[in-house]
A and B are shown apart, each in its own frame.
Chain A
Amino acid sequence: MKPVATLKALRQSTFLAVALSLSGYAMAQTTVEDAWARATVPGQPATGAFMTLTADSDSTLLSVQSPAAKDTQIHQSTMKGDVMSMLPVDEVSLPAGEPVVFDANGYHVMLMGLVKQVKEGDAVPLTLKIKNAQGEEETLEVNAVARALNAPDHAHAH
């Protein structure tokens, strides 16, 4: 009987550890995957960064900041007829559990006034400010790794 009890105790403690670690991550309600930026040629003053964001409750991306550029904004590509526009948006809705893809055809992070050339493999630090449904703000630090300027856009590769 004793070994079983021990096992039970072990299970309980394992459960506790998991619960503790979960509570430790309670604030991290949004996950960021596949963050990348497009490398530039020398003298090119701007580029884009892309990623997939998934929030676990209905949230809003409020802003993105980066020390790599003088001005960082969230833009959205829209197609009207055959005219492509890339315009700033104030915020981006992140519905609970729904991955929101930042790519060439939709939302993307615009890094304008680059402080230096972005080379392939460089880590471009991004700070994401996100507000959840309760109005609590969280800050996420993400490194967008630079891919080659001529890298294909993943979402576009049908």
Chain B
Amino acid sequence: MNDFPTRRRVLAGMGILGLGALAGCGDSNTLSFKYGKDLSNEILGRTFRLKDPQGNEKTLSSFRGMMPMVFFGFTQCPAVCPTTLARAVQAKKLMGRDGDRLQVIFITLDPERDTPEVLDAYVKLFDPTFVALRGTLEQTAEVAKEFKVFYEKVPVGDTYTISHTSTSYVYDSRGVLRLGLSHSLTAQECAEDLLTVMEVC
């Protein structure tokens, strides 16, 4: 299971390279990930302001010190949303104690049908530490735009489904966007790249 380098070993490696003198965060502008996409030079999702199911307003800085992983979806999504959340649970476990710093944030693209109650029950069933965020229709559109997330309501019978970007966006603990994880990656692959983010900050 644990065939990826431990945090300590990678930090030691950084010391050899002369980068490890900093007690806090590394200053590298780019990162090399084995599976995900390096988003270090992208500025996305810096100013979102949405409510959690308890009505508390949350911004990116609410999660400072944690490694936020943001994912967009809707609870009526039968496939990609539950599998992405289940994958996040597995990746968190694979990361061992470092997994405690992973903060999964599920932003609904369907605030009309995803009531705070349904959203809360939904994400908490995967992991009690997962957070769901919800805005008005206008706020949702703004946040999606800020993340360059595509989403579109598609009418189906007398209801609708939503096509949407399935990438998970990962920030380091200072709130710098670092990594994009595609839906096709396994939990193991995600865990390895998430640990790489943690080495930086």
Residues of chain A touching chain B, judged by Cβ–Cβ distance below 8 Å, are 38, 41-48, 71, 73, 75, 77, 79, 82-88, 103-105, 108, 110, 112-113, 148-153, 156-158
Contacts and interface: CB of A to CB of B under 8 A. Distances in A.
A58 B87 CA distance: 36
B40 interface: no
The 5 closest A-B pairs by CB, nearest first: A48-B78, A104-B79, A85-B163, A41-B121, A46-B76
Nearest to A43: B118
A82 B125 contact: no
In which size bucket is the chain B interface? 35 or more
Interface string B148-164: 00100010111101011
A74 to B, nearest CB: 11
Contacts of B83: 104, 152-153, 156
Contact of A84 (B76, B82, B157, B183): B183
Contact of B86 (A79, A108, A153): A153
Chain B at the A interface: mostly helix, strand, loop or mixed? mixed
Contact of A88 (B75, B89, B156, B158): B156
Contact of B125 (A41, A71, A104, A153): A41
Contacts of B27: none
Interface of B: 75-80, 82-83, 85-87, 89-90, 113, 115, 117-118, 121-122, 125-126, 150, 154, 156-159, 161, 163-167, 182-184, 186
Given A44-B76, A84-B80, A110-B78, A150 B183 contact: no
Given A73-B156, A113-B159, A149 B166 contact: no
B163 A86 contact: yes
A84 B166 contact: yes
Nearest to B167: A82
B154 A87 contact: yes
A75 B78 contact: yes
Contacts of A38: 78, 82
Contacts of A83: 150, 163-166
Contacts of A47: 76, 78
Contact of A108 (B75, B78, B164, B183): B78
A85 B154 contact: yes
B78 A79 contact: no
Nearest to B75: A44
28 contacts: A41-B125, A42-B118, A43-B121, A44-B76, A46-B78, A47-B78, A48-B79, A71-B157, A71-B159, A73-B157, A79-B166, A83-B166, A84-B163, A84-B164, A85-B154, A86-B80, A104-B83, A105-B79, A110-B78, A110-B161, A112-B156, A150-B82, A150-B89, A151-B86, A152-B87, A153-B79, A153-B82, A153-B86
A87 B167 CA distance: 19
Contacts of B77: 86
A112 B79 contact: no
